[in-house]
Every structure is written in C-alpha cells, then in structure tokens.
C-alpha cells in the first residue's frame, strides 16, 4: 500500500487542494456538485459524450465492486464523479443495495448515471424462458437499487459471439428499455474483438464495457475494434484500466509498482479518445483522490512518462490470460498456458518451488524441452504476450535453478 511519503509531486499538489476545497464547502452544504467546485480547482473536469446516448460523463467514473463503503461513494460524488457501475453479481446483490441506499440518502438520483449488469449464466437454452429469467433478474436489481430504472443495463460477461447474439437476452434488454426500466442497453466483454464486431453488426447496443489497459499497447486488433465500435455510435466505457494494479498486482504485474503507475495507467486508457470514461475499482479514499486527479488533465507528468517508458514494466505487464488459444498453433504441441503460469511464478512471484511444480505438471514431450523457440506462438497470442521471450526466460531459470 502506498505511503503518503511516496506520493509524487502531482499528488502532493492535488490532494490537499481537493480536501481543503471539500472541507470548506462542506461546512455550508451537504454535498458538492462538480459545477460548484471551489475556485482553487485548476481546470474543469473533462467530460465526453457516451456514443449516441446523449449522455456526457466525466472521464473518471467509479467501479463500485470493490468498495462496500458508503462514504467512498459520497466522496466520489462530491469530487465530481457522476457514473457509478455495479452489477447483480457483485456481493450477491449487496453492492447494488449499498449503491441504491447511498444515492437515495444523498437525493441525487437525477444527477447520476447508474449502470448495473445482469448475467445470463445458467439460463435456459429456451429463448422465452431466458428472457423471463433475465427480466426477473433485472427487476430484482431495481428493487435492491431502490430505483424505477437504471441508466445503463449491461448483459454481463458476454464472452462469445453466441452470447452477444443470444435472442433471449437481447429481447429482454430491448423489452426493458421499451418499458423504461433502463435508458440504454449494452454488453460487457473480455473477448473484445469477436464480441464488439458482433455488437456492431447487431446494431442494438448503446454502450459497451470493455477491458482496456496498456498491456494492449501493441494489440492493434483490439484497439482498432474498439475504435470501430465507437465510430459506429456505441459508447465505450473502459474497465480493468489499471490491469489489476491496486487490487491484485501480484497476479499480473511486477510486485513493486510505484504509486505513479496508477495515474499513468489510467491516463493511458483515457488518452484514447474513443473511450468515454473509465471505471477504476478503487476501494480507499486515497486511491479515489489519486484516480480522480486524472479527470482534470490527461497530460502525462514526467514521472508517468518515465513509468510508461519502462521496458521492464511493459514486458512484465504482458500477461497471459490462459485462454489456451495459442496451444493449437504450436507445431510442437507445447503446453504454453502452463509454461506462462510457470513464468509468472518464477519471474514475477519469485516462487521457484511453485514454478517447478507447474513445469513438472506438464505432460511429457509438451514442456520446455519440446519448445523449439519458433515464433509462431507469438503471432497467435491475442494479448500480445511475448511467449517466445518468456519461454526463453524460463529456460534460463531452468539452467540456473528451476530444476536443481
């Protein structure tokens, strides 16, 4: 966790201004609106239109899933955040309850854009039944939120073309929109290219919630697809912008990320102007202040530029999502996903014992020894993981300590 003494120069400037402004105005009013930001605020909050919805949102929003903290939602609103993203599945619905309770207490329902998501896993293959279950799920969300409608309703975790075009869910979304239970409909996905292309073709979704972070720097396929979707009129909301940097940095990123990484990563995502807003999942006041400092100025500080130029970080940040699609392209049938996990343990975790176990679990003839260091697997990775380089690093470990 970041210590105050480790803050960068920008944070030292921004945070006291924000707190001081809040403390002064709060003495007179219960809540600050973005438009009444104190005179000391240097620049207005950046806002962008959300596709064809007619909505305009501050570039930094709040992904509420990690924060069961009413005070944090209040502070987020006070700073100027107007879009709050939750889902039926977060805390089994408790997250929606908390969001709904706080928004009601603050009396600001008409000033915020609320998004929730409904999953369709375990739903019946029968379209009519799926539609009914989906609508029932949304009705339950509205009850927990204490709202008669949400602003954006996503079909949650749409991770295949078949999911995207599923008739029952689309009919349910359109029906709910027609009935005024949601103003706009969308989908959330981790399979950006396939699903967004299908969403463009279907031409029924107003918004898409997509993963976007600097591990995709070289993935022109993903970036171009998102841009294409935006140009087609779909509003783009970005998630996972900090690549798990604050909640689970060990899993995908180097252990000791500097605090400046969080603003740098968020700015990287928002500097793609096809993105309307991002929903970082901060869970502390400290991180809220830090993330929201981005909303007034997307220019990189010198420290942020240095961080993003760090080749070690970029190399380590390329993370294998274990989709397994590379496996079929390897002429040697190497078990690449397991080796990528081994790499994570060996290089990022420095946990040689786990790495050794992972490597040992590979079937005979499909491990490191089978890899001929060809580069075909690199082209097959959709997340730009440099498989060949990571395997080469593993082999270096092998020679030194991995199998001793």
Partner 1 sequence: MICVALSLATMHGQNAQPHLGTSRTQATDPSRKQFANFLREPLPGNARAQAKPALYNPESLYQYIDGGADIYLLYDFKNLLHQDLKSGAAEVTVDIYEMGTTEDAFGIYAAERSPGYKFVTIGAQGYQDKGILNFFQDHYYVKLSGSGASADTLLDQFARILSGRIGGTKTLPALLAKLPPGHQVPHSQQYVRKDPLGHAFLAPAYIVSYAQGKQESKLVVSVANNPQAAKSRSEQLVKHLKQSGECASAPELGEGGLRARNNYEGRLIARTRGRYLILLLNPSENGAETLKAVAQSLP
**Interacting residue ranges for partner 1, rule: CB under 8 A:** 1, 19, 22-23, 26, 30-31, 63, 65-72, 74-75, 78, 87, 89-94, 97, 117, 119, 121-122, 156-157, 159, 188, 190, 239, 247-248, 251, 281, 283-286, 288, 322-324, 335, 337-338, 341, 357, 360-363, 366
**Contacts with 393 (C-beta within 8 Å, 6 or more apart), sequence order:** 343, 346, 347
Q: Which is nearer to partner 1, 188 or 384 (CB)?
A: 188
Minimal distance in Å, beta carbon 23 to partner 1? 6
Q: Which is nearer to partner 1, 75 or 390 (CB)?
A: 75
Helices (H) and strands (E) in the chain, counts: 17, 10
Distance CA(290)–CA(147), nearest Å, equals: 30
Minimal distance in Å, beta carbon 28 to partner 1? 12
Q: Which is nearer to partner 1, 97 or 303 (CB)?
A: 97
Question: Are 337 and 320 spatial neighbours (Cβ–Cβ below 8 Å)?
Answer: yes
CA 353 vs. chain centroid, Å, equals 31
Minimal distance in Å, beta carbon 361 to partner 1? 4
Minimal distance in Å, beta carbon 31 to partner 1? 7
Angle made by CA atoms 379, 380, 382, in degrees to the nearest 5: 100
Minimal distance in Å, beta carbon 54 to partner 1? 26
Q: Which is nearer to partner 1, 41 or 69 (CB)?
A: 69
Distance CA(239)–CA(237), nearest Å, equals: 7
| Residue 37, CA distances (Å) to 79, 241, 245 in order | 8, 26, 29
Compute the residue count for the chain. 404
Distance CA(259)–CA(11), nearest Å, equals: 10
CA 153 vs. chain centroid, Å, equals 17
Minimal distance in Å, beta carbon 1 to partner 1? 4
Distance CA(38)–CA(16), nearest Å, equals: 13
Q: Which is nearer to partner 1, 165 or 285 (CB)?
A: 285
Question: Are 361 and 344 spatial neighbours (Cβ–Cβ below 8 Å)?
Answer: no
Distance CA(124)–CA(147), nearest Å, equals: 27
Q: Which is nearer to partner 1, 138 or 362 (CB)?
A: 362
What order do you get walking across the sheet with 182-189 strand by strand? 62-63, 83-85, 113-118, 150-155, 182-189, 207-211, 235-239, 277-278
Q: Which is nearer to partner 1, 144 or 181 (CB)?
A: 144
Distance CA(349)–CA(122), nearest Å, equals: 35
Q: Which is nearer to partner 1, 26 or 373 (CB)?
A: 26
Q: Which is nearer to partner 1, 310 or 349 (CB)?
A: 349
Q: Which is nearer to partner 1, 67 or 114 (CB)?
A: 67
Distance CA(321)–CA(228), nearest Å, equals: 24
Minimal distance in Å, beta carbon 377 to partner 1? 16
Minimal distance in Å, beta carbon 348 to partner 1? 12
Distance CA(304)–CA(129), nearest Å, equals: 50
Distance CA(366)–CA(337), nearest Å, equals: 11
| Residue 388, CA distances (Å) to 215, 342, 351, 356, 379 in order | 17, 14, 21, 19, 10
Backbone angles phi, psi at 113, to 5 degrees: -110, 115
Minimal distance in Å, beta carbon 309 to partner 1? 28
Minimal distance in Å, beta carbon 26 to partner 1? 5
């Amino acid at each position: 966790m970041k210590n105050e003494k480790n803050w960068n120069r920008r944070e030292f400037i921004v945070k006291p201004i924000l707190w001081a402004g809040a403390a002064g105005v709060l003495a007179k009013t219960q809540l600050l609106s973005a438009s009444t930001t104190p005179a000391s605020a240097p620049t207005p909050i950046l806002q962008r239109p959300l596709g064809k919805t007619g909505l305009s949102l501050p570039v930094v929003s709040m992904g509420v899933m990690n924060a069961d903290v009413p005070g944090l939602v209040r502070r987020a609103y006070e700073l100027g955040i107007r879009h709050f993203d939750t889902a039926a599945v977060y805390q089994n619905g408790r997250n929606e309850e908390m969001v709904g309770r706080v928004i009601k207490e603050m009396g600001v329902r008409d000033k915020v854009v609320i998004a929730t998501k409904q999953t369709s896993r375990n739903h019946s293959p029968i379209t009519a039944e799926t539609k009914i279950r989906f609508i029932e799920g949304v009705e339950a969300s509205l009850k927990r939120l204490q709202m008669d409608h949400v602003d954006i309703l996503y079909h949650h975790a749409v991770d295949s073309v078949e999911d995207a075009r599923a008739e029952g869910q689309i009919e349910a979304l359109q029906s709910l929109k027609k009935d005024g239970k949601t103003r706009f409909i969308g989908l959330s996905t981790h399979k950006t290219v396939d699903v967004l292309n299908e969403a463009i073709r279907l031409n029924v979704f107003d918004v898409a919630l997509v993963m976007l972070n600097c591990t995709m720097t070289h993935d022109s396929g993903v970036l171009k697809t998102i841009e294409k979707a935006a140009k087609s009129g779909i509003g783009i909301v970005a998630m996972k912008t900090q690549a798990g940097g604050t909640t689970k940095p060990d899993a995908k990123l180097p252990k000791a990320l500097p605090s400046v990484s969080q603003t740098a990563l968020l700015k990287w995502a928002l500097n793609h102007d096809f993105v309307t807003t991002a929903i970082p999942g901060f869970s502390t006041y400290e991180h809220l202040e830090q993330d929201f400092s981005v909303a007034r100025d997307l220019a990189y500080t010198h420290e942020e530029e240095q961080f993003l130029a760090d080749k070690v970080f970029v190399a380590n940040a390329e993370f294998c999502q274990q989709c397994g699609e590379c496996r079929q392209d390897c002429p040697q049938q190497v078990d690449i996903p397991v080796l990528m996990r081994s790499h994570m343990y060996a290089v990022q975790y420095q946990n040689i014992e786990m790495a050794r176990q992972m490597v040992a679990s590979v079937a005979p003839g499909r491990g490191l020894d089978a890899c001929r260091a060809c580069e075909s697997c690199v082209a097959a990775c959709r997340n730009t993981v440099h498989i060949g380089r990571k395997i080469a690093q593993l082999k270096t470990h092998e020679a030194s300590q991995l199998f001793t």
